[in-house]
Amino acid sequence: MSRRRDHVATFDPRMVALVLVVMLLATVLLSAAIGAYHVSVGDVFGAVLRRIGVMSGDPSDPIADELIWFIRLPRIVLGILVGACLATAGAVMQGAFANPLSEPGIVGVSSGAMAGAALQIVTGFAPFGIWTLPVAAFLGGLAAVAIVYATARHDGRTETITLILMGVALNALAGAIIGLLAYVADDASLRSLTSWTLGSLAQSTWEKVWIVAPAAALGMIGAFSLRRTLDLLSLGDRAARHVGVDVEKARIRVLVVVAILAASAVAVSGIVLFVGLLVPHVVRLFVGPTHKNLLPLSVLFGSVVVALADLLARNIVEPAELPLGVLTSILGAPVFIWQLRRLRTRHGGWA
């Protein structure tokens, strides 16, 4: 069966990258300066330069200096890591399964990782110390992708509809497990669990940055190493096999990479849906489907989206804080519905 290719107007990837870098830097500065306690951009630069040893002397506003370095900057960095991980995971899944509806949240990876993390939060079982939570999230995500992949296989190929439907079932199962854990949790665990279920970066610290950054880097390196394979898989299984790609092994590598990336994000932010769906799709509209360009630009755009969403979440209902996952779902759900209808129209229905 031949596939119809939509015309995609592409831009110079270097110019798109430059625009995204400028947007990211502007978002970082705004996020560091704006909040319940407003500070100047000069104070932001001063706090950073003093901490890295470039500038000496006492800060003009000690409260702002402490606020910027110990509260806002760790949160901004974690937001960047979360956005980069989710966007990269979404781009990898969409390429591997040749479907723009694939993303970690839709197929249950994020929920599986969250269930694993929730189990650790409620039980308090920590054999690996501070690494226990990321490990629990990783194992939950890996279990989810294994179940989805095994169930979606039929006659030697992966059925996308079955993949999505199994994701729906796993999301429901993970939600039930999380609900049960919340029912038996004590007050402290329940507060932490509720915050994670809704998605939040409110408890960000530099320690969490150092815990998550290596896993995120490992997942992104794995994703970039697959960029050529993803280009071939996006053409369909038959075309990929024709040029010598071992589709089964390639998809297993993809799912492991996605589990690492999704678990890295869930381990610090909880469930933040639709970033993995929205970001690669928008980037693809600008620079086309080639993963050489798609992956690095998705990293940048994902960082911008989550950092900007967190800025809005902190300030849109000030002095309260809107959960990050709630905000991204409000913004991402309409995009998913539009893309679903667009894909259905292109194929003339699912039957």
Six-digit token string for 292: 């050489």
Question: In this structure, what are the phi and psi dihedrals at residue 85, rounded to the nearest 5 degrees?
Answer: -65, -50
Residue for token pair 């960029």: 227
In the chain, which residue ranges form alpha helices assigned H by DSSP?
13-33, 41-51, 62-67, 73-96, 109-123, 132-152, 160-184, 187-198, 206-225, 227-233, 237-242, 247-269, 275-287, 291-315, 324-347
The pTM of the full predicted model, rounded to 2 decimals, is 0.89
**Domains of the chain by range and CATH?**
13-347 (1.10.3470.10)
Residue type, 303: S
Q: How far apart are CA 265 and CA 305, in angstroms?
A: 14
CA atoms within 13 A on the CB side of 273: 19
Digit-by-digit pLDDT tens for the chain (351 residues) are 334 444 455 789 999 999 999 999 999 999 999 988 888 888 899 888 888 878 777 787 888 889 999 999 999 999 999 999 999 999 999 998 887 777 887 778 888 988 998 999 999 888 888 788 888 888 898 888 888 878 877 776 666 677 778 888 888 999 899 999 999 998 888 888 888 788 899 888 998 899 889 999 999 999 999 999 999 988 887 888 888 888 878 888 998 899 899 888 988 898 888 899 889 988 998 998 999 999 999 999 999 999 999 999 999 887 788 899 889 988 888 877 877 777 677 666 554
Six-digit token string for 168: 């729906």
- Residue 157: strand, helix, or coil: strand
Q: How far apart are CA 333 and CA 336, in angstroms?
A: 5
Cα→Cα distances 95→132, 135, 234, 258, 336, Å: 31, 26, 5, 12, 17
Question: In this structure, what are the phi and psi dihedrals at residue 9, rounded to the nearest 5 degrees?
Answer: -80, 120
Which one, of 285, 295, 237, lies nearest residue 92 by Cα?
Answer: 295
Which one, of 224, 218, 211, lies nearest residue 259 by Cα?
Answer: 218
